[in-house]
């Protein structure tokens, strides 16, 4: 196994004056610590200060690399465009549904792209063939495909720590296509929740027009795996602190400081996504509604400063400070201010003590990828440190809400809902509190950050190494092998589907004409004495003859209904007695569905009817297609037809007609001893499933989906194969 390279915007290190790097144990670094990896990962990221701040960046670079940490130095201008600009003023608000806060600048985008490229170049300096590269977060959306471009056989994983917004929001981004294609360079793409995965898939569908399966899909001859990996908190870290002999002292001090008040705790970075103003509004409402509890409770708001110096964040800080002052002014007494606003970070011992002593933890972000505070609070709730178990109030818009179903869940925008939840939590009997905690605690202690790391890396490890992947590279030897057979006198037949095999899909099927090189390639292959070639398509004969006629290849149209020997002369029928009486009733039904589904139409062929939905709304079209399939199956039960769901089509065709039957006929007619068939959809499986006697038979599937074929590649891979075959036959 190769080494693991962890890539994140910010390095988990502190840089000493002499340039050496001391690893810090926050966030990702601690997640890896508990995962018991065989080897120390190499870290790649920004060292935390602009290049201009370092006296001798080269010396620091050399010193850091010695300790397995690879810095990506960024100038002030790069930080402005890449970090403050595109990452945090465009992507961050948008991914959190705050479209009105998102700002767009082409210059930022250019810097974002350049910095992603800088990361890619530096990774390529340290990566070796077969290494695993795990990329973190939205700052580096373009990096996966930039690494893929180098074709080093890296296993590339990408994890998004924020939500992935709905496609309706994502498509607002001017650079949406490039961003999606960028991240699709990864082999494994992970999200915190199923919803984020769903939104990502729907963006791929709506922005790129590509259909995907739940677990992933084939893209450029590679399988992209999509997965849900809910991140956990650093359980081992909190366990260490809480079992430390000095910890009871910290608890005792906090207990004295609390002076018998009931602690309602809130901990977060001071970020607008965390919803502090809305939370303060709910506190105010609670204090208004429950004067009897005003003296009992103490709200402690720990807000770690974040992105200081950025106007938006400075304004938020002022807004929070003003409101805290106003609430304390209105509801405070000589001996008691209901809110303590602590605008700083605390050492983990103190944080743990706060978590342990809190009666309520109020976690109400407007949007949050996961939210680790909720999990840490539950973990730190232990009977030995507090008489009363605590209650978690959790925003339904935090990813953690899906896992922590025994919390009190609230809509953070609904001030009354949160105020009522506060009261309910405070009044909740101890037994119910204990039960709720028990139900969540065991699970979250197991699914901690170390488990999350192991889970993701396990899937990344499963990615086949480059030499194990069935791709382009592996069809070249097959071309050489077939050419050798032909040269030794064997007779080779090639049966190639057209759409999705020789040519990619486009919005208007009539525009899918052969590219400039294809006719020449077909003619060259057909010219070899012992080679026969047939294009076997669902297309009508007119289209095939117009674009591929006269090249020496036999044309088979309408899924094996008619054929044109050698591509010229008269079309013949494989079976002149095909029954097509069923067409009338089916046509009526398809016309009706077509009327109800904008962007769809019905095509009539001699032996088939096709409903096309490529131009329809992708989700609506796919949904209608599934319903139509069920209806047609029922209607067709007693008819001599088969129904099939292809690439954006539903086709009803005569049972007596199939590509497989046509190919079987031609193989016998030509007396070939070696044959190869290639196709991408279900109708091609009738060719692939043949077991011709006395013929050495090779089968190739193009793209994703189940198949019985022996080889799998993509359109480009097949083209390379055919060109290689031609070249080998020439020499």
Considering the complex, state which of residue 302 and residue 518 has its C-beta at the smaller distance from ligand GDG: 302
Tell me the C-alpha distance between 685 and 495, whole Å: 12
CB of 360 to ligand GDG, least distance (A): 17
User: Which residues, 6+ apart, have CB-to-CB distance to 173 below 8 Å?
Assistant: 90, 91, 94, 104, 179
Considering the complex, state which of residue 231 and residue 672 has its C-beta at the smaller distance from ligand GDG: 231
Considering the complex, state which of residue 208 and residue 304 has its C-beta at the smaller distance from ligand GDG: 304
Of these residues, 131, 497, 681, 714, which one is catalytic? 497
Please list the alpha-helical segments (H only) found in 5-86.
Answer: 27-33, 57-66, 76-78
CB of 452 to ligand GDG, least distance (A): 9
CB of 163 to ligand GDG, least distance (A): 8
Considering the complex, state which of residue 226 and residue 616 has its C-beta at the smaller distance from ligand GDG: 226
* DSSP state string for 313-364: HHHHHHHHHHHHHHHHHHH-BTTB-SEEEE-S---HHHHHHHHHH-SEEEE-
DSSP3 helix / strand / coil % (the chain, rounded to 5): 45, 20, 35
CB of 178 to ligand GDG, least distance (A): 24
User: Which residues, 6+ apart, have CB-to-CB distance to 211 below 8 Å?
Assistant: 205, 217, 618, 622
Considering the complex, state which of residue 126 and residue 304 has its C-beta at the smaller distance from ligand GDG: 304
Specify the pairing of strand 262-269 against strand 297-304. parallel
Rounded to 10 deg, the angle between the 430-446 and 372-380 helix axes is 120
The CA-CA-CA angle for residues 503, 506, 512, to 5°, reads 50
Tell me the C-alpha distance between 249 and 415, whole Å: 37
CB of 639 to ligand GDG, least distance (A): 55
Contact 711, 478 (CB under 8 A): yes
* DSSP state string for 688-702: HT---TTSEEEEEEE
Residue 273 in tokens: 């996504």
Tell me the C-alpha distance between 166 and 196, whole Å: 8
Coil, helix or strand at residue 138: helix
Considering the complex, state which of residue 348 and residue 695 has its C-beta at the smaller distance from ligand GDG: 348
Considering the complex, state which of residue 163 and residue 621 has its C-beta at the smaller distance from ligand GDG: 163
Catalytic residue at 497? yes
Residues forming the site for ligand GDG (CB under 6 A): 161-162, 231, 267, 269, 302, 304, 345-346, 348, 351, 368-373, 376
Tell me the C-alpha distance between 129 and 122, whole Å: 15
Q: Which residues pair with 604 in a beta bridge?
A: 609
Active site residues: 497
């Amino acid at each position: 196994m190769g080494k693991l390279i962890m890539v994140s915007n910010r390095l988990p290190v502190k840089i000493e004056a002499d340039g050496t790097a001391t690893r810090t144990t926050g966030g990702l670094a601690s997640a890896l610590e508990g995962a018991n990896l065989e080897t120390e990962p190499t870290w790649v990221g920004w060292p935390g200060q602009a290049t201009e701040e370092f006296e001798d960046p080269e010396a620091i670079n050399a010193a850091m690399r010695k300790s397995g940490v690879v810095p990506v130095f960024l100038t002030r201008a790069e930080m402005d465009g890449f970090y403050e600009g595109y990452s945090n003023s465009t992507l961050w608000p948008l991914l959190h549904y705050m479209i009105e806060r998102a700002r767009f600048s082409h210059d930022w985008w250019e810097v974002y792209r350049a910095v992603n490229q800088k990361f890619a170049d530096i990774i390529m300096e340290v990566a070796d063939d077969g290494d695993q590269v795990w990329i973190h977060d939205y700052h580096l959306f373009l990096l996966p495909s930039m690494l893929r471009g180098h074709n080093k056989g890296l296993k590339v994983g990408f994890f998004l720590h924020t939500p992935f917004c709905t496609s309706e929001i994502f498509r607002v981004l001017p650079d949406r296509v490039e961003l999606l294609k960028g991240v699709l360079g990864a082999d494994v793409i992970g999200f915190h929740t199923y919803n984020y995965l769903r939104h990502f898939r729907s963006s791929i569908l709506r922005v790129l027009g590509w259909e995907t399966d739940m677990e992933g899909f084939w893209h450029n001859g590679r399988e992209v795996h999509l997965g849900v990996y809910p991140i956990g908190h650093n359980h081992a870290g909190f366990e260490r602190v809480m079992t430390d002999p000095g910890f009871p002292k910290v608890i005792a001090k906090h207990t004295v400081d609390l002076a018998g008040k009931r602690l309602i705790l809130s901990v977060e970075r001071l970020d607008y996504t965390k919803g502090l103003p809305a939370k303060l509004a709910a506190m105010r409402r609670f204090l208004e509604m429950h004067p009897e509890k005003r003296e009992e409770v103490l709200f402690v708001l720990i807000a770690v400063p974040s992105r200081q110096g950025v106007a938006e964040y400075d304004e938020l800080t002022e807004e929070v400070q003003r409101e805290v002052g106003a609430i304390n002014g209105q509801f405070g007494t000589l001996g008691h201010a209901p809110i303590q606003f602590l605008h700083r970070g605390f050492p983990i011992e103190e944080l743990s003590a706060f978590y342990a002593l809190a009666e309520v933890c109020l976690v109400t972000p407007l949007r949050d990828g996961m939210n680790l505070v909720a999990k840490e609070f539950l973990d730190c709730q232990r009977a030995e440190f507090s008489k009363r178990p605590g209650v978690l109030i959790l925003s339904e818009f935090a990813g953690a809400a899906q896992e922590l179903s025994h919390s009190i869940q609230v809509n953070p925008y609904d001030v009354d809902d949160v105020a009522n939840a506060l009261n309910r939590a405070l009044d909740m009997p101890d037994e119910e509190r204990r039960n709720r905690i028990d139900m969540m605690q065991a699970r979250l202690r197991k699914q901690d950050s170390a488990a999350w790391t192991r889970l993701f890396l396990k899937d990344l490890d499963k990615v086949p190494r480059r030499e194990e992947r069935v791709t382009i590279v592996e069809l070249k030897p097959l071309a050489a092998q077939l050419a050798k057979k032909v040269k030794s006198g064997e007779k080779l037949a090639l049966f190639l589907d057209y759409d999705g095999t020789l040519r990619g899909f486009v919005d208007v099927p009539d525009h899918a004409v052969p590219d400039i090189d294809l006719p020449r390639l077909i003619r060259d292959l057909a010219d070899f004495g012992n080679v026969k070639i047939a294009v076997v398509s669902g297309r009508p004969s007119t289209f095939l003859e117009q674009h591929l006629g006269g090249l020496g290849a036999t044309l088979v149209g309408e899924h094996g209904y008619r054929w044109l020997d050698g591509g010229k002369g008269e079309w013949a029928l494989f079976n002149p007695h095909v029954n097509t009486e069923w067409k009338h009733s089916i046509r009526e039904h398809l016309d009706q569905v077509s009327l109800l589904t904008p962007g769809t139409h019905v095509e009539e062929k001699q032996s088939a009817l096709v409903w096309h939905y490529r131009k329809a709304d992708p989700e609506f079209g796919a949904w209608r297609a599934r319903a139509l399939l069920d209806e047609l199956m029922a209607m067709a039960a007693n008819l001599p037809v088969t129904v099939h769901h292809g690439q954006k089509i539903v086709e009803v065709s005569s049972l007596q007609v199939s590509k497989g039957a046509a190919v079987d006929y031609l193989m016998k007619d030509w007396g070939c001893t070696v044959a190869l068939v290639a196709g991408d959809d279900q109708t091609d499986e009738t060719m692939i499933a043949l077991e011709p006697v006395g013929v050495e038979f090779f089968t190739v599937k193009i793209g994703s989906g189940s198949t019985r074929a022996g080889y799998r590649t993509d359109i480009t891979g097949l083209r390379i194969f055919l060109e290689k075959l031609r070249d080998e036959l020439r020499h």
